Structure 1
Amino acid sequence: MAENVVSVIPARKGSKGIPRKNIRELNGKPLIAHAIEASKNTSEIDHTVLTTDSDEIAQIGREYGADEIIHRPKELATDEVPLAPVIQHAYAESEGNFEYVLCFQPTVPLITHTSVEEGIQQGLQTDSDSVIYIRDSTHQYWKKTNGEYNSVSADRKNRQMMEPIYEEIGVFLSHRSIVEDGRRICDSPSFYEVDRREGIDIDTYEDWKIAESVLQRKQLVYRLIGNGNTGTGHVYRGITLADHIFEHDVLFAVEKKDELAIDKLAESNYAYRVFEGEQAILEYIRTDVPDVVVNDVLDTSVEYMQSLAELDSRIVNFEDLGVGSKYADAIINALYEHSTPPENHYFGSEYFCLRSEFRYATPLEEIPSVERIMISFGGTDENDLTAKALRALSALNEEYEIDVVLGLGYTERDHLDTIIEKFSSPGRISVSQNINSMAKHMEQADLLITSNGRTLYEAASLNLPMISIAQNAREQKHPFAHISRGVLSLGHANYVSEENLQAAVEDYCSNREQREMMRNELSTHDIANGIERIKKIMFEEANEN
């Protein structure tokens, strides 16, 4: 099969739609250079020919390694001349004697040498006289005949249910006999389908911008966790970031044990893969090294991070306080702050990833009185602070609407019912789990009792004052949980009694001045723009902390 194929790249100087199109730089190199490089990198192609009427294009062709430059006569360089005689002339003038001719138009710069090669192999193996490279273009089309519009499709269906419709791209393979006969393709060609991105054919400025955007896309592998112990905060952050990353490709990597994360990723429709463990994720990353690897898994080990550091990827970790963090290119930690952070560390509320439901919710403008108290400790609530908060509220003299939102990992639901029965008006208490919108619940609250996790920032984005309790020593390091930030922190769960919590709630409910002070302080924090800051860090656009 070797030494059978000559690639002919037609590139004239008279482009009208995009003037001087063939020599303009697309993502840092002339348009024709993309076709030349793909042709030269295709093992099935033995000879690459550039046919042109331009000395400038010819020079670029030589610089990028075209094997032969053929001068195209003026009569074959006009707008009216079809491609068949151009390829016929180039083949007749070229050096060598080849069985097949590949027409490779430079307007298809995204097609890979792998796809070019597979299409050629298909033609050679099936003894087809022609192979047309195509891409899926299935849509509802209408054609105009005698002044009337008629649907191409027989009936109205969703695009996914329609019979496929394909369009040619600017690449086709034909036997020499077809080319010598002055034809582009035979009467019964075979077809090779490429990915829609690869098949982008540049005719307009809009096509150009799309092609350049695709060439600049980076590959990101986002590893995250989500189970009964860690809750869903990590997976929600990953999905929220993916919602704002249109210009790059994101693949989520998750271990089989993280069932909550798998469920949420499945609902999101984002691409994800499930692995047996950390080593399997590493092996996958090594097979096709991405531009960026994100670890949203809390603390990392030296062994894992050293293995990643050996690859040519940018490594960005979230909330990593482990010994492996020193091998990351950037550490982002919204939950903890540092007065003098290292150059590649980004701390504090300005790097919080706020979910869309909070970005479009309505913040509190005033709290004249307290009517509704919300309790939410998320995850598994390891110290069952939900029960402690309910017992504390049951001792209040005033009656309030109480909205309890349980984390997906919480398993003591039946135990709560016995506490609720002791309230004088148990009907004023609602308990929810696996809710659709946390923001909707917060919008209706006048006070939130919660832990020192991400919920602090979500409530802060709505100017909702909080009384917080740290579940563990890690949470106790969260500096945002401070009255100067609009959060009344009671300390570590082991040292907060029901009486402490009851007194804090009573003070808050009876003191409007305190409520307004806390609400006003919360309104001063710029939390909504954290996603854009994170994106810049992930894709190396940040120059300063």
Structure 2
Amino acid sequence: MKKTTNLILIPAFSNNKNISQHNLRLVNNNPLLYYVLRTCIDAKCADVFVVTDSEAIQEVSLQYTPNVIFLKDTNLSNSEKIIKNALDAFKESNFNYKKCLVIFSDLPLIEKNTIRKFFPKISKNHTVTGYVENSDTFTKSSLKHNLSKLSVQENIVSSRTIFGFDIQYFLKNKKFNPSYVGIKLSPTEGFIAKNYHDLEQIEKILNRRKILVCVNGSNKIGLGHVYNMITILNYLRNNEILIVMEKSKNLGHQKLRKQLYKVKFYSNNKEFNGILQNFKPDLIFNDILYTTTSYMKKLRKSNSFIVNFEDLGPGSDLADLVFNPIYVTNKTKPRKFFGSNYACVRDEFRILHSKPIRKKVKNILLTFGGTDPQNLTLPVLELLSKNNFKQKIVVILGMGNAHKNKIKKLVFQMNQNSQNVRIIEQSDIMAKYIRESDFVITANGRTVFEIASLKVPMITVSVHEREELHKFSRISGGAIHLGSINNLTMKSFQNAIIKMMDYDFRLELRKNLEKHDLLNGVHEIIRIINTKFDDQKI
């Protein structure tokens, strides 16, 4: 007695009008036929048989399953004849099948869950077919349910590629039920190779990895983590990416969505665990500042490859890779990479190049990140106002700055007093304003790498204790670092600005910055991730 009454037939024939021997063409070192066959077997919802007219395909199929039906002189254009001959091959066995799903090997990207959806829908009253939505010929109203009445149109219905039917109805009437219902396939699942270039496209899709990106942004921690992830993800194009953010720390999610990334929010561990279990990532990126051991142990259960960024927490020891570009250590730590060689500079800083240094200072730039939680912009502007600086002053205010009204009021007063101050809110091309500047006054975060990449001298302030651990501005030789905000005096700020007015001093800082290559960090990170991930798979 058979364990299942469900049957899957995979017709795999030698002739194909577009690609010769297409079933045996290697895609990622496996024959094309392998992918449909493997997925059907893994779905575990039916007995699976390959139907072929080719001795070569038969031999290859037997490597994966003993269930092969060999047919001679089969007319590939007649699906009903193919299925009739295949079912006839069972006559001498204890045939107990009631429902049959036919999947041609042309659908190597079909998913297990989609295959499982067919059998509950199969009935004597209709044939079930897979379809890919065509917006030109298919209206939204007709797709209210997963099971939709279909008019059989060549450009909508994959009737020759995947369909399910009631076996008793078929044997009695010697044809499929002409009434069709449909199960929607994703565009990827419905992709069929029509030429040799399409095989390459299938190979790329099969190589896709699922990456879960855990990133936070808030007024307290800023937007550096968000920008860092955007930069890295831009170099991981052939992947399925899902970004998750704590609901209370979702500042910057608009920027992620503007990049067309899918973003989900969670409020508690239960919601996060649900996202993790449903997505089933191959890789997990953490750019959340500080990971705990308990958090990382939870992620380890997913069997994902885990990469952490800017993480000095105890959980970092459980990551497969850790990149800490803004921290420096003299100790070599396995799987952990420190220093500016791993800085991720945004693409705009690769596109725009540095300008020659000017002898006289004309432009000063103020930027304290997307949030400026310590409101440093205001006292620095007050100092420049008090000393009646006549140089052009550009102030970049991020989307999370909570002090905009006070800053705008002061800027208005400065301009009334014949000073030249301009406010830029949420610029999409920050590199433009940095390279136009003679020096930049900034926080001691990740922005220092981008300023340094354009060889612009800077004055830096650590806006919290963690930033005091960021060593680059001190060791680069390209900045005046004023230490922590807790020890900052306006006198030290004033002295630093006076120093920056000296051409020879700024020239020395620039020459020091020219010694640092900050444009290859993201490429090195991607190289290491890909290499280590592939090594782990082996």
Residue identity opposite 2:431 in structure 1? A
Unmatched segments (≥5 aa) in structure 2? 138-152
User: Which residue number corresponds to residue 230 of structure 1?
Assistant: 221
What's 1:18 paired with?
19
Please tell me whether the aligned partners of residues 26 and 212 of structure 1 are also in contact (alpha carbons under 8 angstroms). Answer: yes
Which of 86, 89, 108 does residue 90 from structure 1 map onto? Answer: 86
Shift of 1:217: 1.2
Q: 1:314 to 1:40 in 2, by over 3 A?
A: closer
Residue 38 (str. 1) matches residue 35 (str. 2): no
Q: Is the contact made by 1:282 and 1:308 (CA closer than 8 Å) also made in structure 2?
A: no
**Equivalent residue for 1:65?**
65
CA deviation after TM superposition for structure 1 residue 288, in Å: 4.3
* Amino acid of the structure 1 residue aligned with 2:74: L
User: How do residues 112-511 of structure 1 correspond to structure 2 at under 5 angstroms?
Assistant: 112-124=111-123, 127-138=124-135, 166-168=156-158, 170-176=161-167, 185-278=176-269, 280-396=271-387, 399-416=390-407, 421=413, 425-482=417-474, 484-510=476-502
CA distance in 2, matches of 1:285, 1:213: 24
Q: Would the aligned equivalents of 2:101 and 2:118 in 1 still touch at CA under 8 Å?
A: no
User: Shift in Å at residue 181 of structure 1?
Assistant: 8.4
Q: CA deviation at 1:390?
A: 2.2
Conserved in 2, the CA contact under 8 Å of 1:87 and 1:179?
Answer: no
Contact 1:123/1:190 (<8 A) preserved: no
Task: Write the letter of the residue equivalent to 1:440.
Answer: K
Q: In structure 2, how many angstroms separate the alpha carbons of the residues matched to 1:220 and 1:171?
A: 30
User: Equivalent residue of 1:38, what SS?
Assistant: helix
In 2, the alpha carbon distance for the partners of 1:128 and 1:541 equals 53
Relative to structure 1, the CA distance from residue 424 to residue 274 in structure 2 (aligned partners, 3 Å threshold; closer, same or farther) is closer
Counterpart of 1:29 in structure 2 is 30
Question: Are 1:519 and 2:531 matched, yes or no?
Answer: no
The C-alpha deviation readout for 1:266-285, integer Å capped at 9, x for no partner, is: 44432111111355324432
Residues 370 and 93 of structure 1: is their aligned pair in 2 closer, same or farther, counting only changes over 3 Å? same
CA shift digits 1:349-395 (9 cap, x unpaired) = 22222223333223223323210101111244344332332233335
Q: Cα–Cα, structure 1 residues 373 and 284, in superposed 2: closer, same or farther, change >3 Å?
A: same
Asked if the contact 1:375/1:403 (under 8 Å) is kept, the reply is yes
AA of the residue aligned to 1:349: S
Q: For 1:235-293, what per-residue CA distance to the aligned partner results, in whole angstroms no more than 9, with x for missing partners?
A: 12223333332111111111111241334334443211111135532443245431111
CA apart distance, 1:49: 2.5
Give the distance between the partners of 2:371 and 2:382, measured in 1 at CA.
Answer: 18
Amino acid at match of 1:330: L
Distance, in Å, in 2 between the alignment partners of 1:447 and 1:48 is 69
CA deviation vs aligned residue, 1:293-352 (integer Å, no higher than 9, x gap): 111111111211122223301111111111221111111111112233312111222222
The aligned residue for residue 110 of structure 1 is: 109
Mapped partners of 1:542, 1:106: distance in 2: 30
Give, in whole Å, the separation in 2 of the partners of 1:502 and 1:399. Answer: 15
* 2-structure distance, mates of 1:37, 1:483: 55
Deviates more, 1:535-544 or 1:299-308: 535-544
Q: 1:494–1:417: structure 2 CA closer, same or farther, 3 Å change rule?
A: same
The residue number in structure 2 matching 1:144 is none
Q: Which amino acid aligns with 2:38?
A: E
Measured in 1, the distance between the counterparts of 2:393 and 2:113 equals 61
Tell me if the contact between 1:255 and 1:274 (Cα under 8 Å) persists in the aligned partners: yes
SS in 2 for 1:280: helix
**2:131 counterpart letter in structure 1:** I
Q: Quote the offset at 1:44 in angstroms.
A: 4.3
d(CA) in 1 for partners of 2:27, 2:175? 28
- Distance, in Å, in 2 between the alignment partners of 1:434 and 1:514 is 31
Q: Quick check: 1:229–1:379 contact (8 Å CA) kept in 2?
A: no
Q: Deviations 1:157-183 (Å, cap 9, x if unpaired)?
A: xxxxxxx96241611123447755897
| Structure 2 counterpart SS, 1:257 | helix
Cα pair distance change 1:417/1:62, threshold 3 Å:
closer
How far apart are 1:111 and its partner, in Å?
0.8
Distance between the aligned counterparts of 1:209 and 1:185, measured in 2? 34
Q: CA RMSD in A?
A: 3.1
Deviations 1:27-84 (A, max 9, x none): 3433222222333344542x333222333321222221242x22221x326xx75443
Please say if residues 396 and 506 of structure 1, whose CA atoms lie closer than 8 Å, have aligned partners that are also in contact. Answer: no
Q: Which amino acid aligns with 2:27?
A: L
Determine whether 1:52 maps to 2:52. Answer: yes
Q: Cα–Cα, structure 1 residues 71 and 379, in superposed 2: closer, same or farther, change >3 Å?
A: closer
Question: How far did 1:398 drift?
Answer: 5.3
Tell me the TM-score normalized by structure 2: 0.86
Over 3 Å counting, the alpha-carbon distance change for 1:478 and 1:41 in structure 2 is closer
Counterpart Cα distance in 2 of 1:184 and 1:209: 36
CA contact (8 A) 1:392 1:499 kept: no
1:76 equivalent in alignment to 2:66:
no
Q: Distance between the aligned counterparts of 2:368 and 2:175, measured in 1?
A: 68
Q: Distance in 2 between matches of 1:523 and 1:279?
A: 49
> Contact 2:99–2:122 at 8 Å: present in 1 too?
no
**Structure 2: which amino acid aligns with 1:465?**
P
2:522 paired residue number: 531
Q: What's the secondary structure of 1:355's corresponding residue?
A: coil
TM-superposed CA distance for 1:133, in Å, is 1.3
Distance 1:422 1:117 in 2: 69
Deviation at 1:185, TM superposition (A): 4.1
For the residues of structure 2 that align with 1:286 and 1:540, how far apart are their CA atoms?
Answer: 26
CA distance in 2, matches of 1:294, 1:325: 12
Shift of 1:525: 2.8
**Aligned amino acid, residue 58 of structure 1:** Q
Shift of 1:397: 6.7
1:160 aligned partner: none
Task: Provide the aligned length of Structure 1 versus Structure 2.
Answer: 515
C-alpha separation in 2, matches of 1:527 and 1:198: 41
| SS of corresponding position for 1:482 | helix
1:219, 1:249 within 8 Å by CA — same for their partners in 2?
A: yes
Query: CA contact under 8 A between 1:319 and 1:333: conserved in structure 2?
Result: yes
Secondary structure at the aligned position of 2:355 is classed as coil
The letter of the residue matching 1:33 is: Y
Contact 2:223-2:371 at 8 Å conserved across structures: no
